[in-house]
Structure 1
Amino acid sequence: MGDVFFYHLTESPLERALPPLLGKALEAGWRVELRGREAAAMDRLDQALWLGAEESFLPHGRAGGAHDARQPVLLTAGEGAANAPACLMSVGGAEVSAEEVAALSRACVLFDGSDEAAVQHARGQWKALTRAGTKAQYWAQEGGRWQKKAES
């Protein structure tokens, strides 16, 4: 059974915070589903990942391609991942279920601390997942680093 980590973005935008987290997941040997709710938002993330520094390139693709099953990071808009992920990263309020987390090595929920609706949604996800017995950790950006603030 996997754990879920909540990442409260308070100092940097998603486009800057996401690549190091994806890099750590890939270093762990995990395939990743990067799940959002809106195709246009996932297209923007796809472009941001392609425009990153060459030395920190993250191999990835958008769901719906011919090679989805081979993608180390597959960006989806909630349609499911064909790359057999061990890690799910949820952005933009995409839902994560306790059943999914149980089948994964890790799930991550990244949310924008300057968006009150996103904060409230993440709190609701925390409550639902921990009530279902999922172990959770809450991390916040502090001084340019991630600091663990709570654990269930």
Structure 2
Amino acid sequence: MTEVLFYHLTQSRLEEALPDLLEKSLGRGWRVVVQFSSEERRDALDHHLWVYRDESFLPHGSDSDSSGALQPILLTVEAEQKANDPQVRFLVDGAVPASLEGYVRAVYLFDGHDAEQLDLARSRWKVEKAAGHAVTYWQQNDDSRWIKKA
């Protein structure tokens, strides 16, 4: 059974919230795959992760290059991409996995100001719960801290 977390972005944008969550995953010794719904979004986040903070570094690569298997964080648009043998799968911008089998954790990050992403998150909650995964829902408070709501 996979632990599935739903993170409802209400104060931050994905570009602000994702790096901190990725750092925490790496801090636990996990390898990560981040699935995007488009190559353009993947490439924009790829660039952002190189420059998002001067005092930090997130080792990562993209499935658009040949070093995917070596990367602690792999950015992809592929629903079945596991080249870096990840324990955690992040799903952003409406991305949907082929399966969550074999993952320790899956994290859906969705924009609370986007009706399509909200609807998709609600439907994925039902799917993941019905599949027997342990699901939790987290929402940002006014200080952008994550508060467990369900």
Regarding TM over 0.5, the answer is yes
* Contact in 2 for aligned 1:78/1:94 (Cα 8 Å): no
Give the percent of matched residue pairs that are identical in Structure 1 and Structure 2. Answer: 45
Q: Deviations over 1:12-40 (max 9, x none)?
A: 00000000000000001011000011001
Q: Distance in 2 between matches of 1:54 and 1:31?
A: 23
Q: Distance in 1 between matches of 2:13 and 2:65?
A: 27
**SS of residue in 2 equivalent to 1:56:** coil
Q: Deviations over 1:25-84 (max 9, x none)?
A: 000101100001100110111111111113221110111322211101000012513101
Within a 5 Å distance, the mapping from 1:99-138 to structure 2 comes to: 100-138=99-137
Residue matched to 2:19: 19
Q: Shift of the alpha carbon at 1:127?
A: 0.4
Residue matched to 2:96: 95
Alignment partner of 1:5 is 2:5? yes
| Greater helix fraction, Structure 1 or Structure 2 | 1
Q: Please, which moves more after superposition, 26-35 or 63-72?
A: 63-72
Taking structure 2 as the reference length, the TM-score comes to 0.94
Q: Which runs of 4+ in 1 moved over 2 A?
A: none
Residue matched to 2:84: 83
Q: Distance in 2 between matches of 1:56 and 1:102?
A: 31
Q: Distance in 2 between matches of 1:68 and 1:106?
A: 20
**SS of residue in 2 equivalent to 1:130:** helix
**Count of aligned pairs between the two proteins:** 148
Q: Distance in 2 between matches of 1:78 and 1:102?
A: 16
Q: Which runs of 5+ in 2 are unaligned?
A: none
**SS of residue in 2 equivalent to 1:30:** coil
Alpha-carbon RMSD across the aligned residues, in angstroms, is 1.2
**SS of residue in 2 equivalent to 1:103:** coil
Q: Distance in 1 between matches of 2:129 and 2:148?
A: 17
Q: Distance in 2 between matches of 1:2 and 1:56?
A: 29
Q: Which runs of 5+ in 1 are unaligned?
A: none
